Amino acid sequence: MTKKNENHYAGKHAKGLEVNPDLAEIIKKRTSEGKLPCAVAFNIAEKTNATPAEVGAALDLLEIKISKCQLGIFGYSRDNKFIKPMKEVPPSLENVIRESLTDGKLQCGNAWKTADSSGISRMDVASACDKLGIKIYSCQLGAF
């Protein structure tokens, strides 16, 4: 989501796109103060057999904000960025990250895979990317 779309998330999608009523009900039950944490959105996707992108689109259409990005990129505070650059990126981690880049950037899903395969947290991968000046893009929920 870009700043120009903030609080108008449905505008990112084609007119006429509708939310599955069952999915909408589940989302609304898990939403608090107009927000739904990233981890909860993924839990809903898993339990409903929806894709993360479908859940993300439903959140947009319901005008519900995604909070607490599992990479620490947004949804934590006023400045929205929770992570800080890693002090020193281990060469082995840097190599794994660089092997996963597309046009010099790392897709969100690849950041998750890197974390899982390296046995580190997702936020640590984002922190390493921050230190290396690598942008993470293509949120699996469609937030960025």
The predicted pLDDT at position 80 comes to 58
- Measured in degrees and rounded to the nearest 5, phi and psi for residue 137 equal -140, 175
CA angle 121, 47, 40 (to 5 degrees): 45
Segments of the chain with pLDDT less than 50: 1-4
Instruction: Give the pTM.
Output: 0.89
Beta carbons within 8 Å of 126's beta carbon, 6+ residues apart: 71, 72, 73, 83, 111, 136
The predicted pLDDT at position 8 comes to 81
The predicted pLDDT at position 128 comes to 98
